[in-house]
Structure 1
Amino acid sequence: MHSADLRLGERLFAAVAAFGVAAVPTALLLVLIEANWPPLHRLDAAAAERLHTAVRDHPAARTALRVLSEGVWDPLTLRLLVAVAVGWLLHRRAWRLAVWAAATVTASGLIGWAVKAAVARARPALPDPVAHAPGFSFPSGHAMTAATCCAVLLLVLTPVLGRRALRAARTAAVVSVVGVGFTRIALGVHWVSDVLGGWLLGLALVAATAWAFDGWRRDTGRAVPPPLADGLEPELARHGPPEAGGRTP
């Protein structure tokens, strides 16, 4: 088991390379942005103009969007939810799954910051702005964090949720991820392509680190479940993960 645990660490590092492959769609999107591809440019400009005008003319909508974007769906709020889940996993003695969740969300923040600095895309410059945000624009940190955190929470909690609760959780995750993106565009602090880039990067990262976790299960003789249906560690539905050296029946 100890050697398998060491390989889990190695696989998490290898997930960085897998992330590079999974992030190819984001790279293609960035190429289109840098090339000023007319269809994407028109989409960015039209969405920014129309949503900005609508929000500017409706103060109540502007207030609601800011509460959602900067409170309910703020990256800090979503990361705190994952932190609570990590604490629960530690209580359940699901050590490796707790490490996976914490590492994935931490990597999301670091990668998002690094890509922003490397791309250095300017945020929308709109007349009569209704909101401001610091830093560069691509990718949307809010969108990337929402995609990462919601996916992590679903992969962790799926085994312990009943059918109705799981359906509600999946609906809430989709609404949150889409809602975050909409609020950032409507407030005029991101382009549509920024949000798409954040979603793609966040999901690519989760896919890469989940692959690493599945590899650890194989190394320890555990079955590898379909993660979208059963979560990453279905043993949580019973009494927690198997003891060290044990096998899933």
Structure 2
Amino acid sequence: MTHPAPPDTRFGVRSVLALVALALLAVPFGLLLFFVQDQWPPLQRLDDGARDALHRVALHHGGFAATMKVLSFVGSAPVYVVAFTAITLWLARAGSRRLAAFVAVTELGGAVLNELVKTLVDRTRPVVADPIAHASGLSFPSGHSQAAVVSYSVLLLLFWTALAPVWRWVAAAASFVLVLGIGLSRVALSVHYVSDVLAGYALGAAWVLVMTAVFGAWRLELRAPADKVPTSSEA
């Protein structure tokens, strides 16, 4: 008869797997950063070609442009601030303070990390004739794309166990489509390059992995049971 591994062993295995996954995510981000700074011609052609092609589509198809603007707004900072402030307060009020801290630190820390990397890379945004949208600040990596990965991952982590199996996959599929749509909107609106969006995805996924591992280590250190998302009757 086999005995289950002790909690410390299971956590150690999960930590190693998380570090491996983090390393795998660091590779594409590092390559993108290197190619951007080196001005690698194939990547420049991809970035410029996608920018110009999608800009032409947006200029000549009002419905497409309007859809891209809606997706861009859905993935904007004001929406996330309102939504995740409400979620954090709800969790704290219901007694799930570690989860509340996880949500707040993951969201705020991701935004700070994005600004830090943008400042270090110092890449200017795309420039097109007849722009249909404007954005300030720097370009690499895309803050919208990174925030989309972080935010929808956090939502899935929070509510996964509370959902019925079929709704888990519906939620995962919807999140995947929204993340892709938000990234596409930033290129279509000519405020980011494709490489900015891909780098945002990679950095966002890496940040979620780091914060999930840190939260798990904190809980293990305290020898505390995992917080759960409160039900409507507990809230």
- Give the alignment's TM-score, normalised by structure 1: 0.77
Paired residue total: 214
8 Å CA contact retained: 1:75, 1:146: no
* Mean Cα deviation higher: 18-27 or 48-57: 18-27
Identity percentage over the alignment? Answer: 36
1:48 to 51, 57, 60: 51
- State the partner residue of 2:76: 74
Structure-to-structure mapping, 1:142-221, within 5 angstroms: 142-221=144-223
In structure 2, the CA distance between the partners of 1:42 and 1:170, relative to structure 1 (3 Å rule), is same
Shift of 1:140: 0.7
Write the letter of the residue equivalent to 1:134. Answer: S
> Secondary structure of the residue that 1:159 maps to in structure 2?
coil
8 Å CA contact retained: 1:22, 1:205: no
Q: Check if 1:133 corresponds to 2:131.
A: no
Measured in 1, the distance between the counterparts of 2:90 and 2:59 equals 42
1:100-139 per-position Cα deviation (integer Å, ceiling 9, x unaligned): 1100110011111111112110111112222111111111
In structure 2, the CA distance between the partners of 1:213 and 1:239, relative to structure 1 (3 Å rule), is farther
In structure 2, the CA distance between the partners of 1:237 and 1:67, relative to structure 1 (3 Å rule), is closer
> Secondary structure of the residue that 2:52 maps to in structure 1?
helix
Shift of 1:56: 0.7
> Secondary structure of the residue that 1:160 maps to in structure 2?
coil
Shift of 1:83: 2.2
Measured in 1, the distance between the counterparts of 2:84 and 2:162 equals 16
Measured in 2, the distance between the counterparts of 1:163 and 1:170 equals 11
Shift of 1:24: 4.8
8 Å CA contact retained: 1:78, 1:146: no
8 Å CA contact retained: 1:159, 1:237: no
8 Å CA contact retained: 2:156, 2:171: yes
2:62 to 59, 63, 75: 59
Measured in 2, the distance between the counterparts of 1:164 and 1:92 equals 27
Shift of 1:165: 2.4
Gap runs ≥5 in structure 2? 1-20
In structure 2, the CA distance between the partners of 1:20 and 1:119, relative to structure 1 (3 Å rule), is farther
Measured in 2, the distance between the counterparts of 1:202 and 1:163 equals 26
Write the letter of the residue equivalent to 1:164. Answer: V
1:82-110 per-position Cα deviation (integer Å, ceiling 9, x unaligned): 22222232233111111011001100111
2:120 to 118, 121, 129: 118
- State the partner residue of 1:30: 33
* Mean Cα deviation higher: 173-182 or 37-46: 37-46
Runs of 4+ in 1 over 2 A off after TM superposition: 18-25, 78-85, 216-223, 233-240
Shift of 1:59: 2.0
1:108 to 103, 106, 110: 110
Measured in 1, the distance between the counterparts of 2:31 and 2:50 equals 21
8 Å CA contact retained: 2:118, 2:140: yes
Measured in 2, the distance between the counterparts of 1:30 and 1:181 equals 18
